[in-house]
Amino acid sequence: MPTVNREASIMLAVMEPNPADPALHLPGPLASYGDAIPAYLRHAYSWAYLDPRTLRWLDRPAVVSAILWGNANRLMRDAVAEFVPGQRVLQAACVYGGFSALLAQRLGAHGALDVVDVAALQVANARRKLAGFRQAKIWQADLSVSGCVAADAYDGVCCFFLLHEVPEAERCRIVDNLLAAVRPGGRIVFVDYHRPRGWHPLRPVMSMVFRSFEPYAQSLFAAAIESRSARSAGFEWTKTTCFGGLYQKLVGTRRG
Ligand SMILES: C[S@@+](CC[C@H](N)C(=O)[O-])C[C@H]1O[C@@H](n2cnc3c(N)ncnc32)[C@H](O)[C@@H]1O
């Protein structure tokens, strides 16, 4: 089992992108990958995920921790704890910070971690951060496209703070594709924002953040995540919230 110190050192080690790192220099200009990038991502999140200049500032522990109001470590550890060593797990989209390294470490040398992201820059950055983990593979694909990942192929699927960043139509397709990837008896874990309770002191601040920077986030709260796919009927669901309801963890276990 990893110790807390080992986790902390891995998080620090993987978090500082070096602009001179060849892995961050894509073969050809970023625009040549533009066709693969969904329109919503280009319009709303170019600054966050498609620009190497901001990546090197955003992909830092202090920034990730600040964005999640000091809850990043707890949310990452709670998600990772849902999986066990030796499993084959799909991580839906890259995440800034040490999340993928923690997950790879949790699965261990006998496990397998597949990370899929639609942005070439993020794929290159994740490859750099996971270079020391032979159990990890990262590739580029759009998770909202049917057949993007193999069906019934994974013991576990982890979707960490992706759904609030995609429009409803793509969100439904992503949830459906991810549920399809879970083998019978396997588990899917969604960690994301949740509508905070009425008394939450950060509610007005978060409303402003969502309005200004996260144009699709509020639509996530309109319905339960699992209601986005008819496949959810084949799963047992458990939802927990924390930090005054601002964050949710939804765990589905596939029957059979
Ligand atoms: C996981 S989400 C947000 C995570 C969180 N804000 C963070 O980075 O700490 C960000 C990633 O989702 C990816 N992404 C968005 N739409 C996607 C899609 N349809 N398929 C695959 N990856 C997608 C983006 O390229 C980006 O790397």
Q: How would DSSP label each residue in 177-195?
A: HHHHHEEEEEEEEEEEE-P
Contact (Cβ atoms closer than 8 angstroms) between residue 124 and residue 23: yes
35: pLDDT confidence band, cut at 50, 70 and 90? low
Q: Ligand 1: which of 165, 168, 191, 247 to mutate, most ligand atoms within 8 Å of CB?
A: 165
Average pLDDT over residues 157-172: 98
Domains of the chain: 4-254 (3.40.50.150)
pLDDT in tens, 196-207: 999 999 999 999
At position 201, the amino acid (one-letter code) is P
Give the ligand 1 atom nearest the CA of 99: 9
221: pLDDT confidence band, cut at 50, 70 and 90? very high
| 214's tokens | 């996260």
| 149's tokens | 């990942």
C-alpha 203 to ligand 1 mean position (Å):
24
Q: Is 17 touching ligand 1 by the criterion CB < 6 Å? A: no
pLDDT of the residue at 36: 85
C-alpha 162 to ligand 1 mean position (Å):
5
4 pLDDT more than 70: no
Q: Is 166 touching ligand 1 by the criterion CB < 6 Å? A: yes
**DSSP 3-state of 89:** strand
123 pLDDT more than 50: yes
Average pLDDT over residues 52-73: 97
Q: Which of 241, 1, 14 is nearest to 108 (CA)?
A: 1
pLDDT of the residue at 48: 97
227: pLDDT confidence band, cut at 50, 70 and 90? very high
Average pLDDT over residues 233-255: 98
Give the ligand 1 atom nearest the CA of 95: 8
Average pLDDT over residues 28-48: 75
∠ Cα 200 203 72 (to 5°): 85
Q: Whose CA is nearest to atom 25 of ligand 1?
A: 119
Of residues 61 and 30, the one with the higher pLDDT is 61
Distance CA 51, CA 1 (A): 36
What rounded mean pLDDT belongs to the chain? Answer: 89
14 pLDDT more than 70: no
| Percent of the chain residues topping a pLDDT of 70 | 86
Q: Tokens 């409803």 map to which residue? A: 168
Contact (Cβ atoms closer than 8 angstroms) between residue 100 and residue 79: no
C-alpha 94 to ligand 1 mean position (Å):
6
Alpha helices in the chain (DSSP H): 4-14, 39-45, 52-58, 61-67, 72-80, 99-107, 120-129, 168-181, 203-213, 217-220
**DSSP 3-state of 68:** coil
Average pLDDT over residues 50-59: 97
C-alpha 92 to ligand 1 mean position (Å):
8
∠ Cα 72 78 84 (to 5°): 130
Contact (Cβ atoms closer than 8 angstroms) between residue 158 and residue 249: no
